């Protein structure tokens, strides 16, 4: 990924709404990446936000950036506003279990951001991220390219990590994607997964490995269940998602047309007005162009099911 130079970064302001675990880890990751000059944290718990800012300021010293507590008027002229505010999954809960509480929060927060920063790009991390990306699009009135959910960018990263371990190659050399819901109905796109330009079964033949379907399915299962497993052990996930959020901001700040699986509103497998993840080009305009995939028939059907399950939650909210 291209790094912005110091001159470009001088004017970059990023606002993070929600100074909880995901929000502050993202602020720290932004500092380490030197992606912004001004990082603003907004939280309903101002005391907590101030404590985090005091701590982060001492790290900001090394990154020559400013970190401060703010309010919604500080969203003005932000390159992006990341929303991480909201309740988190408890062990055993699905992401969709959080929907009512976090939707109510979005109805309060998103119009306030939009009022002060009508030209910004919203990056949604709060779960269920696809449902809330759809809500943020409608509540802000922003064009769809300027409302981006972190979506399956996290799952794609986990999937490449799993496949990299299985094949014994660096995950960066595995081209494989998870699309659909950032949740239980997500799907791995096996038909387009490659290493060195070879489909996985061809790679196995070339590398004299067994094409072990059961082991590959286990990689997809561990990807789908990673958050449950981490939450069961430590109560939350924060480092992976923070790095993913920074990797979504990278092409926005550097205007570099990276392709990532992020969530945005559209029509998917015939289901209209729903948000889910497909590969998308990102630059300073946001997630501005879908990259259509030639899915197999089975994958297309699975994508339709994933879109339908998100749509049903959206319809239940409208009741
Ligand atoms: N998209 C992903 O890949 C991903 C990964 C991990 C967590 N998450 C989601 O991110 C969200 C936050 O998780 P967390 O672990 O940081 O939770 P957390 O409890 O540590 O932090 C949430 C923060 O939101 C704040 N908040 C609550 N209501 C607010 C409001 N109205 N305005 C401003 N701030 C408010 C709280 O005070 C708290 O500081 C959850 O919904 C979680 O499921 C998403």
182 is a catalytic site residue: yes
What six digits make up the tokens of 181?
Answer: 């819901």
Q: What is the pLDDT of residues 220-262, one digit of tens each?
A: 999 999 999 999 999 999 999 999 999 999 999 999 999 999 9
User: What was the pLDDT predicted at 317?
Assistant: 85
- Tell me whether residue 70 is annotated as binding: no
Q: Specify the pLDDT at position 4.
A: 61
Distance, in Å, from the CA atom of 41 to the CA atom of 19, rounded to the nearest integer, reads 6
26 lines ligand 1 (CB under 6 A): no
Nearest CA to 18 among 69, 114, 84, 70?
Answer: 84
- Both tokens of 41, joined, read 């944290």
Tokens of residue 54, six digits: 């005091």
Torsion of CA 187, 188, 192, 194, to 10 degrees: 170
Q: Answer yes or no: is 67 a known binding residue.
A: no
d(CA 141, CA 188): 32
Q: Where are the domains of the chain?
A: 6-149, 153-317
Distance CA 163, CA 176 (A): 9
At 16, give phi and psi (nearest 5°).
-120, 120
* pLDDT, tens digit, 9 for 90 and up, residues 164-182: 999 999 999 999 999 999 9
Q: Is the CB of 237 within 6 Å of ligand 1?
A: yes
Supply the CATH classification number for the domain 6-149: 3.40.50.720
Q: Which atom of ligand 1 is nearest to the CA of 149?
A: 1
Q: Which of 85, 96, 105 to mutate to test the pocket of ligand 1 (most atoms within 8 A of CB)?
A: 85
* Rounded Cα gap, residues 37 and 8, in angstroms: 9
Inter-residue contact 244 to 146 (CB < 8 Å): no
Which listed CATH number (3.50.40.10, 3.90.110.10, 3.40.50.1220, 3.10.129.10) goes with 153-317?
3.90.110.10
Q: How far is the CA of 106 from the centre of ligand 1 (A)?
A: 12
Give the integer Cα–Cα distance in Å for 33 and 4: 10
| Among 58, 61, 134, 182, the one annotated catalytic | 182
Distance 111 CA to ligand 1 centre (A): 18
Q: 112 in ligand 1 pocket by Cβ < 6 Å?
A: no
Peptide bond into 128 cis (omega under 30): yes
Q: For 65-120, how does the pLDDT look when each residue is reduced to its tens digit (9 = 90+)?
A: 999 999 999 999 999 999 999 998 888 887 778 898 999 999 999 999 999 999 99
Residue 1, pLDDT > 60, answer: no
Residue 8 has pLDDT above 80, yes or no: no
Pairing label, strands 66-69, 38-42: parallel
Is it the case that residue 7 has pLDDT exceeding 50? no
Q: Taking residues 151-166, report their average pLDDT.
A: 98
Does the beta carbon of 275 lie inside 6 Å of ligand 1? no
- 104 in ligand 1 pocket by Cβ < 6 Å? no
């Amino acid at each position: 990924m291209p790094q912005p130079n110091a001159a470009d970064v001088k004017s970059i302001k990023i606002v993070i709404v929600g100074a909880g675990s995901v929000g502050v880890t993202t602020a720290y990751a932004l500092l380490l990446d030197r992606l912004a000059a001004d990082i603003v944290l907004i939280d309903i718990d101002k005391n907590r936000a101030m404590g985090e800012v005091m701590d982060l300021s001492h790290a900001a010293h090394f990154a020559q950036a400013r970190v401060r507590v703010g309010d919604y008027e500080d969203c003005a002229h932000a390159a992006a506003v990341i929303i991480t505010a909201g309740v988190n999954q408890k062990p055993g809960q699905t992401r969709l279990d959080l929907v009512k509480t976090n939707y109510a929060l979005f109805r309060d927060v998103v119009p306030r951001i939009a009022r002060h920063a009508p030209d910004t790009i919203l990056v949604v991390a709060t779960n269920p991220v696809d449902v809330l990306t759809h809500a943020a699009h409608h509540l802000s009135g922003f064009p769809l390219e300027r409302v981006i959910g972190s979506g399956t960018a996290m799952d794609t990263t986990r999937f490449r990590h799993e496949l990299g371990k299985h094949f014994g190659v660096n995950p960066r050399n595995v081209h494989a994607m998870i699309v659909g819901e950032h949740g239980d109905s997500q799907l791995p796109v096996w038909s387009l997964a490659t290493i060195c330009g070879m489909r996985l079964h061809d790679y196995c033949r070339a590398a004299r490995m067994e094409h072990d379907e059961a082991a590959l399915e286990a990689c997809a299962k561990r990807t789908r269940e990673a958050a449950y497993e981490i939450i069961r052990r430590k109560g939350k996930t924060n480092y992976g998602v923070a790095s993913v959020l920074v990797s979504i901001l990278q092409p926005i700040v550097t205007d570099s047309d990276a392709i990532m699986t992020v969530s945005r509103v559209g029509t998917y497998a015939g289901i209209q007005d729903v948000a889910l993840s497909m590969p998308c080009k990102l630059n300073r305009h946001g997630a501005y162009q879908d990259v259509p995939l030639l899915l197999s028939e089975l994958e297309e059907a699975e994508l339709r099911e994933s879109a339908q399950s998100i749509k049903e939650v959206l319809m239940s909210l409208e009741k």
